[in-house]
Amino acid sequence: MTPKVSILMGIYNCEKTLRHALDSIIRQTYKNWEVIICDDGSHDKSYEIAMEYAAKDNRFIVIRNPENLGLAVSLNRCLQIAKGEYIMRQDGDDLMEVSRIEKQVQYMGNNNCDVCGTGAFVFDETGIWGLRMPDINPEKEIMAKGVPVIHATVIMKKNTLTGVNGYSETKLTRQRLEDYDLWTKLFEKGCIFHNLNEPLYYYRIDKNSYQRRKRKFRLAEGRLRLKACRRLGLPFWMRIYALKPLILMLMPSVLVQKLNIRRLTNRLKSSAYNNFTLNISNLLHI
């Protein structure tokens, strides 16, 4: 049976979390999927673990880069062999809520939407400590300030992604900005974005080692924001938002860390999920 959904994964040195990530896919209520995993030159046992799953379940397909080439290259290689009508994303250290695929496939089938994301719990080994809930119906103006969807939560039709030649492989997108460039290209094509108003993804960030983004990332982000404003024809005044990454680059890393943690924790506290707890064993029904 041809899979309806192709889940693309680029993995790199995630041996400690990969099994849980893959198990959360296996436990999905929706079963007509394939997972295409591209190991991006890992130095640990990530590739071997992925191959274990491929040996047991032919829905897992594993390929390997000869060296670390970046997420954009890895995802494009996965896309080349994807058979599904829909493309989804998953990272090697995150988890899916058990009904994620079912709910997103259903939404895409019943609505005029090109890219559909979801909210996401932020968690670490101590449990859930934050929440990300993007705008339900983001417009192109969001690109001046941030992103319309959380990359790893999205589903889109395969021809939507191939219609813009997949992910751009440039020096700028190599700075973990491949998603931002992709959203810009899709907004240019007039694509419609939507986010389900529900956290269906578990995004792993260690609260105690929240890392500051590197200077070169902030510079690249600022440049891409300026380009997006021009390409999407946004009002000139909105380009001021391109300065935010540069301001963050100049701020003390401890302060940036505290602000990010506070933002995510406050969203959780003010939401209906304030008392929600995460038990990985229960999530995976182990």
**DSSP line for 18-65:** HHHHHHHHHT-S---EEEEEEE-S-SSSHHHHHHHHHHH-TTEEEEE-
Domain 95-278 annotated CATH 3.90.550.10:
yes
pLDDT-based confidence at residue 212 (cuts at 50, 70, 90): low
* Sequence-ordered strand ranges (E) for 190-256: 193-204
Q: Using the Cα atoms of residue 148, residue 151, residue 157 and residue 158 in order, give the sign of their dihedral.
A: positive
pLDDT-based confidence at residue 165 (cuts at 50, 70, 90): very high
95-278 matches 1-93 in CATH topology: yes
SS3 239: helix
Rounded to a whole number of angstroms, the CA Rg of the chain reads: 18
pLDDT at 209: 60
Mean pLDDT of 263-283: 73
Whole-number average pLDDT of the chain: 91
pLDDT at 231: 96
Q: What is the model's pTM?
A: 0.92
pLDDT above 90 for 280: no
Euclidean distance between CA atoms 41 and 230, whole angstroms: 36
Q: Where are the domains of the chain?
A: 1-93, 95-278
pLDDT at 218: 82
Tens of pLDDT, residues 17-37:
999 999 999 999 999 999 999
pLDDT above 60 for 8: yes
CB contact at 8 A, 107 and 116 = yes
Architecture of domain 1-93: Alpha-Beta Complex (3.90)
Q: Can you spell out the DSSP letters for 209-223?
A: G-PPPPHHHHHHHHH
Specify the pairing of strand 193-204 against strand 95-96.
Answer: antiparallel
pLDDT above 90 for 81: yes
Q: Which of 278 and 110 is assigned the larger pLDDT? A: 110
Smallest Cα–Cα separation from 34: which of 8, 52, 72?
A: 8
Question: At 73, phi and psi to the nearest 5?
Answer: -60, -45
